[in-house]
């Protein structure tokens, strides 16, 4: 008899490393008590739902702190550090403050639409969690169209933002809302096509099966498909309105955008739901690209859901990182980037993946031979495609003016204070570049009335 | 399968209840007069950089949004068509691959047309 030294998970119901034991025990208890079948269903659904909502509640509280601290550290600030140890109580203080603020609602606003928006913004991020596998047997709802469910739900968030902006009856809010819709319809295409490559490779839309696929072949799909990972990461970050693409709120342009009229707890819900949606998208990426609850042999020691949460936060850190580093894009840059860069790349990726799957099936080669080849080829392909596309699109983007020469040619009108004080000065008051330069060179001061002379030597 | 969808629906109830709790707490604070409530006409007017708002906010917006929406419909319908293809792909083999190549090639013609018509630019 060979013992399995690494496996510590038992079948005991109190083993929290696999919570399906617990629900199995409860199911058994109900069946022993001759309970009806629907009671089993209700109890298991209730347990899962409570677990997910508890996780989401924790996320909404703790992520405010994480986000502010990490971004603060990235930008050489401290972040909140006054309330409690390391400022951990800051989110609670924020919540209490927001709850007791006076609720302002403009008279011109559409009351019902205005009030529904923050609630509708929170819901999809939570419902997405239902189809994700949290452990080997731990999906609340194991749908065979899980990917479609996720895509449908993740685009509902933008619709809620539009509702809020439209219902506010404010011009800034409407601009923000229209920008959200433009970004949603643009970035939906690359993200859908990026996930299509994964569905093609694993041959299933069931998220639990996708994790099992990665477990079977001992490989996280991000290695096999690096290009869809990049595309999906960028486009979901745009759909989430996070900072490289937060055109919908854009404080410096449209003064907060869609939530400019919200105050009190409704604003707080928008704020929390943004983080919840970010965690939901991180969870999707962690499931389909990084292998969910599976991590080589680790899931035999550590509970699967703990590995899964660790992966969620690893991806979430990437989101915070981009938020802390990148400046905001202009809307024309952002939309052209989706249509002209990511959509054709996603199509190219689908064709390549389809060819790879076909070759794999037709030759019947072993996975150990095929997968390393595909990893090498796909990484090379992603790099070459990006470089080639930059070259192809290049001339239009690289026509940046050479700053020095460009500014030298501009004829700057002189300010009154810089003009020659004496009317009898030798230099003419306004002339072309050359005489002014010679005058300033001769006099060594600003008597020519110019900060910058003619063309540099 | 309907059981599984039912569980997702079960979570939907919780998900709707989740944001209602803080809203209810906020309303309760208002009932007990902890939260201030002093409306006045200026406070409840629409924010417009400190000015009195000019006209209605629901103005006409740019035709560019419609161009993007049209493009989106084209590509999204196509993506929805490709999903079942992707799931059944391993069973169908070479035939499905060639079919999808032809399909994407036709779509690519439309893509180039939209590009040349400058429908993908924000101007």
Q: Is A385 within 8 Å of A345 (Cβ atoms)?
A: yes
Q: What percent of chain A has pLDDT over 70?
A: 81
Residue after which a domain boundary falls, among B9, B32, B57 = B57
Domain co-membership, B67 together with B118: yes
Examine the domain organization and report whether B40 and B94 are in the same domain: no
ipTM: 0.88
B51 shares a domain with B65: no
CB A106 within 8 A of CB A116: no
Higher pLDDT, B118 or B96: B96
pLDDT the model gives residue A315 = 92
Can you read off the two tokens belonging to residue A304? 């699967």
Q: What's the domain count of chain B?
A: 2
For Cα atoms A258, A329, A343, give the angle at the middle one, nearest 5 degrees: 100
Q: Give the pLDDT score at A419.
A: 64
Instruction: Domain of residue B101: give its range.
Output: 60-123
> Does residue A200 belong to the interface with chain B, where contact is any CB pair within 8 Å?
yes
Residue at which a domain ends, from B28, B57, B86: B57
Q: What is the pLDDT of residues A326-383, one digit of tens each?
A: 888 878 778 888 888 888 889 899 999 988 888 888 887 787 788 888 888 989 999 9
Q: Does A97 touch chain B (CB under 8 A)?
A: no
Percentages helix, strand, coil for chain A, rounded to the nearest 5? 70, 0, 30
- Token pair 């309303």 is at which residue? B27
CA distance B107 to chain A (A): 10
Please, what is the average pLDDT of chain B? 82
Place of tokens 């009932």: B31
CB contact under 8 A, B89 and A193: no
Residues B15 and B67 in one domain: no
pLDDT confidence of residue A433: 44
Are B52 and B67 members of one domain?
Answer: no
> Measured between CA atoms, how close is A341 to chain B, in angstroms?
11
- Same-domain check for residues B66 and B119: yes
Which parts of chain A register pLDDT below 50?
A: 1-8, 397-408, 425-427, 429-457
Q: What percent of chain B has pLDDT over 90?
A: 1
C-beta atoms of B26 and A264 within 8 A: yes
Residue in A142, A254, A277, A115 with CA at minimum distance from that of residue A208 = A142
Q: Does B40 share its domain with B67?
A: no
Sequence-ordered alpha helix ranges (H) in A240-363: 251-254, 264-288, 304-325, 331-336, 343-363
pLDDT digits 0-9 by tens, A149-170: 898 888 888 888 888 888 888 8
**Interchain pair B48, A171: CB under 8 A:** yes
To the nearest 10°, the Cα dihedral for A129, A132, A134, A140? 70
Beta-carbon separation of A108 and B104 below 8 A:
no
Q: pTM of the predicted model, to two decimals?
A: 0.81
Are B52 and B79 in the same domain? no
Which class for A353: exposed (0-12), middle (13-18), buried (19 or more C-beta within 10 A)? Answer: buried
pLDDT, tens digit, 9 for 90 and up, residues B8-44: 888 888 888 888 888 888 888 888 878 887 888 877 7
Q: What is the CA radius of gyration of chain B?
A: 26
Residues B52 and B64 in one domain: no
Last residue of a domain, one of B57, B76, B101: B57
Measured CA distances, A260 to A14, A237, A257, B13 (Å): 49, 21, 6, 29
* Per-residue model confidence as pLDDT tens digits over B39-63: 888 777 777 777 777 777 777 777 7
Distance between CA atoms of residues A11 and A28, nearest Å: 13
Same domain, B78 and B120: yes
- Based on the fold, state whether residues B119 and B94 are members of the same structural domain: yes
Query: What does the DSSP 8-state code read for residue A83?
Result: S
Q: Yes or no: say if A293 and A134 are a contact pair by the CB < 8 Å rule.
A: yes
Mean pLDDT, residues B91-117 taken together: 86
**CA distances from residue A192 to A78, A123, A289 in whole angstroms, order as listed:** 38, 21, 14
Partner B contacted by A32 (CB < 8 A): no
Q: Cβ separation of A260 and B121 shorter than 8 Å?
A: no
Same-domain status, B1 and B34: yes
């Amino acid at each position: 008899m060979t013992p399995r030294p690494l496996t510590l998970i038992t079948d005991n119901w109190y083993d929290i490393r696999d919570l399906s034991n617990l629900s199995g025990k409860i199911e058994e208890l109900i069946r022993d008590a001759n309970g009806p079948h629907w009671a089993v269903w209700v109890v298991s659904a209730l347990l899962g739902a409570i677990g997910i909502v508890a996780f989401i509640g924790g996320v909404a509280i703790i992520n405010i702190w994480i986000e502010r601290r990490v971004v603060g550290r990235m930008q050489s600030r401290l972040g909140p550090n006054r309330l409690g140890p390391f400022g951990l109580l800051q989110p609670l203080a924020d919540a209490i403050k927001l709850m007791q603020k006076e609720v302002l609602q403009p008279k011109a606003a559409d009351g019902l639409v205005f009030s529904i928006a923050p609630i509708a913004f929170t819901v999809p991020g939570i419902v997405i969690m239902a189809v994700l596998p949290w452990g080997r047997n731990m999906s609340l709802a194991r749908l065979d169209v899980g990917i479609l469910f996720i895509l449908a739900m993740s685009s509902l968030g933008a619709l809620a933002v539009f509702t809020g902006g439209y219902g506010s009856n404010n011009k800034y809010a409407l601009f923000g809302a229209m920008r959200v819709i433009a970004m949603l319809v643009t970035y939906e295409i690359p993200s859908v096509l990026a996930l299509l490559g994964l569905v093609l490779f694993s041959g299933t839309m069931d998220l639990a099966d996708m994790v099992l696929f990665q477990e079977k072949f001992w490989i996280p799909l991000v290695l096999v498909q690096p290009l869809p990972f990049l595309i999906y990461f960028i486009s979901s970050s745009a759909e989430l309105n996070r900072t490289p693409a937060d055109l919908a709120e854009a404080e410096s342009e449209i003064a907060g955008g869609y939530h400019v009229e919200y105050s009190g707890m409704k604003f707080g819900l928008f704020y929390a739901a943004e983080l919840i949606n970010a965690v939901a998208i991180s969870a999707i990426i962690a499931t389909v690209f990084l292998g969910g609850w599976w991590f080589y042999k680790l899931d035999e020691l550590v509970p699967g859901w703990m590995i899964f949460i660790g992966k969620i936060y690893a991806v979430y850190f990437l989101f915070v990182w981009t938020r802390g580093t990148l400046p905001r894009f202009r809307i024309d840059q952002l939309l052209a980037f989706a249509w002209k860069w990511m959509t054709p790349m996603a199509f190219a990726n689908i064709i390549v993946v389809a060819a790879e799957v076909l070759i794999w099936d037709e030759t019947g080669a072993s996975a150990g031979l095929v997968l390393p080849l595909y990893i090498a080829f796909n990484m090379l392909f992603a790099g070459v495609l990006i470089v080639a596309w930059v070259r192809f699109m290049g001339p239009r983007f690289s026509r940046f003016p050479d700053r020095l020469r460009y500014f030298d040619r501009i004829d700057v009108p002189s300010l009154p204070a810089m003009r020659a004080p004496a009317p009898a000065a030798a230099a003419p008051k306004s002339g072309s570049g050359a005489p002014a330069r010679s005058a300033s060179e001769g006099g060594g001061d600003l008597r020519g009335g110019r900060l910058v002379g003619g063309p540099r030597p | 399968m309907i059981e599984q969808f039912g569980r997702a629906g079960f979570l939907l109830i919780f998900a709707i209840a989740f944001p209602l709790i803080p809203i209810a707490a906020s309303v309760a604070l208002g009932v007990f007069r902890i939260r201030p409530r002093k409306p006045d006409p200026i406070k409840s007017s629409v924010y417009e950089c400190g000015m009195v708002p000019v006209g209605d906010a629901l103005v006409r917006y740019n035709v560019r949004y419609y161009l993007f929406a049209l493009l989106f419909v084209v590509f999204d319908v196509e993506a929805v068509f490709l999903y079942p293809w992707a799931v059944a792909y391993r069973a169908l083999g070479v035939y499905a691959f060639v079919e999808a190549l032809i399909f994407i090639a036709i779509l690519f013609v439309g893509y180039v047309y939209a590009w040349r018509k400058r429908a993908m630019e924000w101007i």
